[in-house]
Structure 1
Amino acid sequence: PDTRAGADEAERREVARVLNTGEVKKASPSPRKESPTVREFSKIFIETSRITNKASTIDAKNAVFKCHLLPLIGDLPIDQVTYAVIEDLKLALARKKISRVDPDKLDEARTLSPKTINNCLTCLRRMLVVARKRGLIEHVPDVEWLRAPAPDFDFLDFEEADRLVAAAEGQLRTMIRVGLRTGMRHGEILALRWQDVDLVAGRIMVRQNVVRGIVGTPKSGKPREIALGDDVRAALKAHRHLRGPLVFCDMGGKMLTDSESKNPLAHACKRAGLRPIGWHCLRHSFASHLAMRGATLKVIQDLLGHSTIVMTMRYAHLAPEVGRDAVRLLDGGNRGSGMAAEKKTKAN
């Protein structure tokens, strides 16, 4: 009977049977669920990522799966993604030609960069981690990353920056000054509101960023404060308007589109006799100028809003005097140690 007494009696009988026969019944293994394919589980992975990731990050993950991962391993069950499969995937990606070229010139097309391949491996590994947490796989296979060269970046020297500002007019000139003197990202400049600008105290609180028309938090996920220099502070005072809450906007107070800010910058570069640059070059210029003037990498990191100092280290070579000054500190220490040793010897 399905009672406590019945359960106790059944347990006593089982114990007596084991003592008499020495045979222990093995529990029958539960049937294993069929593992979803990479293609099937990638949809679940993307949907769960939407909870914590920004829209731009979701777009990037979708592109990685659609363009690179799913064509190669999309039909493979997720529990069959082994170390060997990942290594073969790396080889296939390394041979893959960039598709945005003339089909007749495919032989001349570049292959995927190590950075792009590492981005694919990062998405794949993160998906496998989620699959393990859901009990779909027992462990995540090892992933060996490619060694990617340090990314190049362009920046304007001091004279080029002055020429660009002089070649621009009106609102564009103020936007360029803000980019060069605050290091704000293009989307942060477009989403900047007057309520985040304190012209009395001389500071900007970066609280918003816009990517592909979607307004959200800055890339780091948290606001940051940037002090304003005298020239950009004066430029913002002169630019003050009543068209709406945005600092930079069209005549109706609406946020500028990418083309409404990128095309004028290209024209200003042409008038200044400069190579074509993008808005991010102004951010690089801000950091580079600070490094060349002796600012510490930690200060530059905080102003740029980098989550780690690894990204900021790209500007370290522009401040060789910082390293020389640091090494000279040892000269002072050696002299102090030598004097202390000399005094001790005399005392003895």
Structure 2
Amino acid sequence: MTIWKKTKHPGVRYKESRTRRYKGRAERYYSVRYRRNGKSVEEGLGWESSGGINPNYCARLRGEIVSNIRAGRGHQSLKDRREEEEAIRDAKQREKQAQKRDKTSFDVLAQHYLDWSRNNKKSWKQDETRYRLHIKPSLGAMPIKDITSWPIERLKQDLKAKGKAPQTVLHCLALVRAMFYKAPLWNLHQGSNPVREATKEHKKFLTIPDASRLEFFSHEQASALLKELRTRNLQLHDMAFLSLYTGMRAGEIFKLQWADINLEHGIITILDPKNDETARVFLAPQVKDMLQKRRPDRVKSHSFVFTDSQGRKLKEVSNTFDRTIQKLKFNEGVTDRRRRFVFHTLRPTFASWLAMQGTSIFEIKDLMRHKR
């Protein structure tokens, strides 16, 4: 049977533990009693060892509760008091987090996003490159809370002023938008998405000019180009030859490994292409012959077909291509970038030559590996 003992303070009593010791004697558990709404209420405060719990402390808390009950205000029980204290602690914690968020730079959000991108997106390398080269210099050091539609507009104008392609500008803006959409998941930003706000203010903010190539190489131009490339850079010649007769993109050619090529059946397998669907390219006899000549006697199946001087995967088309175009004067007097001859012109040339031969639009669509 529990024996409660009174203290000198009204409404404060305690019981002694049979097993717990405190300062050389049985530890005491304190509680307070009071009346509310005509009923007797008793609430426990805890053991002495919890810290600061003694008769004087208990009497002071009971006095607060009784006073509040009489006045009809504030906490009117220990439970109410604990809930008030918890609410205050939560409010302080939220304020502390908000202050921390206010100082958090956009670079912190970007790193969170890029970590997520590495594990969830095939295009994570492009995300990293776009952020490092184009976005970070403008927004990286800015506090997230300070990024409104105006800094986003300024980013767009800066990229255009640097001569970046419209598609590159669009990709960068879309990446910033995606980062802000993810920000609430990491408790880094709770406000509106500034790219979305910029789009509301200017409906064509994310609209870019038509960048479709309007030109393609004639047979005579392609012949002159390949002849000149052969004398300057044989590997570049073979890359251009492959794109011209298969429609392969530069990025697909960079990633091409000997394991992807079946010379016996004349098929190239393109893994992880632009539209994310593995595709097969059928080789014309002249392309198959070119690849047979390129293939070393001893080759590792997973080695790249085209490499840099260190034997590593290529990252860009050699500027020898542009110098060759310049020498042949294919772009002389051309100001519209859509009409300029570049490496990518080889791909629409492949499609255009097929159309000129009478190939149906549906067959061309399949050969170009277009989704629509």
TM range (shorter): 0.5 to 0.7
Q: Please, which of 141, 145, 154 is the counterpart of residue 92 of structure 1?
A: 154
1:287–1:238 Cα change, 3 Å: same
Query: What's 2:318 paired with?
Result: 262
Q: Deviations over 1:69-121 (max 9, x none)?
A: 24xxx433x3454xxx21x2244346548676xxxxxxxxx7x7765554443
Identity of aligned residues (%): 23
Structure number with the higher helix fraction is: 1
Matches within 5 A, 1:121-270: 121-138=173-190, 140-141=192-193, 142-143=196-197, 144=199, 145-153=205-213, 154-169=215-230, 172-207=236-271, 217-245=272-300, 246=303, 248-249=305-306, 254-255=311-312, 262=318, 265-266=321-322, 269=325
The answer to whether the Cα contact below 8 Å between 2:106 and 2:142 also exists between their aligned partners in 1 is yes
Q: Could you tell me which amino acid in structure 1 is paired with residue 291 of structure 2?
A: L
Structure number with greater Rg is 2
Q: Could you tell me which amino acid in structure 2 is paired with residue 75 of structure 1?
A: M
Query: What's 1:42 paired with?
Result: 110
Structure number with the higher strand fraction is: 2
**TM-score of the superposition, structure 2-length normalised?**
0.56
Question: Is 1:69 aligned to 2:139, yes or no?
Answer: yes
Partners in 2 of 1:266 and 1:63 — Cα distance?
Answer: 23
Q: Deviations over 1:287-310 (max 9, x none)?
A: 34345544436853x54455x54x
The answer to whether the Cα contact below 8 Å between 2:304 and 2:313 also exists between their aligned partners in 1 is no
Partners in 2 of 1:158 and 1:10 — Cα distance?
Answer: 95
Aligned residues: 269
Where in structure 2 are there 5+ consecutive unaligned residues? Answer: 1-13, 15-30, 32-41, 45-67, 200-204, 332-339
The answer to whether the Cα contact below 8 Å between 1:94 and 1:113 also exists between their aligned partners in 2 is no
1:258–1:274 Cα change, 3 Å: farther
Partners in 2 of 1:92 and 1:184 — Cα distance?
Answer: 36
Partners in 2 of 1:250 and 1:198 — Cα distance?
Answer: 19
Q: Residue 262 of structure 1 aligns to a residue in which SS?
A: coil
Q: Could you tell me which amino acid in structure 2 is paired with residue 54 of structure 1?
A: W
Where in structure 1 are there 5+ consecutive unaligned residues? Answer: 12-16, 101-109, 208-216, 310-348
Q: Could you tell me which amino acid in structure 2 is paired with residue 225 of structure 1?
A: R
Partners in 1 of 2:229 and 2:159 — Cα distance?
Answer: 40
The answer to whether the Cα contact below 8 Å between 1:244 and 1:253 also exists between their aligned partners in 2 is no
1:89–1:23 Cα change, 3 Å: same
Q: Residue 176 of structure 1 aligns to a residue in which SS?
A: helix
Coordinate RMSD, CA, aligned:
4.4
Larger RCO (CA under 8 A, 6+ residues apart): 1
1:247–1:99 Cα change, 3 Å: closer
Partners in 2 of 1:42 and 1:266 — Cα distance?
Answer: 35
